[in-house]
Amino acid sequence: METTLRGVGVSHGVAIGEVRHMGTAVLEPPAKQIPAEDAAREQGRARKAVEAVAADLIARGNLAGGEAQAVLEAQAMMAQDPELMADVERRIAVGSTAERAVYDAFAAYRALLAGAGEYLAGRVADLDDVRNRIVARLLGVPMPGVPDSDEPYVLIARDLAPADTALLDPTLVLGFVTEEGGPTSHSAILARALGVPAVVALPGAGELAEGTVIAVDGSTGEIFVEPSADKKAQLEAAAAQRKAALSASTGPGATSDGHKVPLLANVGGPADVPAAVEAGAEGVGLFRTEFLFLDDSKQAPSEEKQVEAYRQVLEAFPEGRVVVRVLDAGADKPLDFLTPADEPNPALGVRGLRSLLDHPDVLRTQLTALAKASEGLPVYLEVMAPMVADRTDARAFADACRAAGLRAKFGAMVEIPSAALRARSILQEVEFLSLGTNDLAQYTFAADRQVGAVSRLQDPWQPALLDLVALSAEAAKAEGKSCGVCGEAASDPLLACVLAGLGVTSLSMGAASIPYVRATLAKYTLAQCERAASAARATDTAEEARTAAQAVLSGE
Residue numbers annotated as active site: 186, 486
Q: Is 449 helix (H, G, I), strand (E, B) or coil?
A: coil
Phi-psi region of 283 (alpha: psi -120 to 50; beta: other; left: phi over 0): left
| Beta strand residue intervals within 46-190, DSSP E | 153-157, 173-178
Helix (H) or strand (E) holding 283: strand 283-288
Q: Is 8 helix (H, G, I), strand (E, B) or coil?
A: strand
Among residues 547, 516, 532, the alpha carbon closest in space to that of 253 is found at: 516
Q: H-type helices in 219-272, by residue range? A: 229-248
Those residues with Cβ within 8 angstroms of residue 330's Cβ, 6 or more apart along the chain or in another chain: 338, 339, 346, 349, 350, 351, 352, 354, 355
Residue 432, φ and ψ in degrees, nearest 5? -160, 160
Q: Is 534 helix (H, G, I), strand (E, B) or coil?
A: helix
198-200 and 213-217 as β-strands: parallel, antiparallel, unpaired?
unpaired
How is 474-497 classified by DSSP, letter by letter?
Answer: HHHHHHT-EEEE-SGGGGSHHHHH
How is 73-90 classified by DSSP, letter by letter?
Answer: HHHHHHHT-HHHHHHHHH
Q: Residues of 60-90 as b/e, b for ≥16 C-beta within 10 angstroms?
A: bbeebbbbbbbbbbbbbbbbbbeebbebbbe
Among residues 151, 169, 159, the alpha carbon closest in space to that of 16 is found at: 151
**Cα dihedral 443→388→73→154 (10° resolution):** 40
**Cα dihedral 70→73→75→76 (10° resolution):** 180
Cross-sheet strand order for the sheet of 14-21: 3-6, 222-225, 213-217, 14-21, 153-157, 173-178, 198-200, 8-11
Cβ atoms of 130 and 85 closer than 8 Å: no
* DSSP code at position 330: B
**In whole angstroms, what is the distance from residue 83 CA to residue 275 CA?**
39
**In whole angstroms, what is the distance from residue 421 CA to residue 440 CA?**
12
Helix (H) or strand (E) holding 206: none
How is 30-54 classified by DSSP, letter by letter?
Answer: ------GGGHHHHHHHHHHHHHHHH
Cβ atoms of 60 and 163 closer than 8 Å: yes
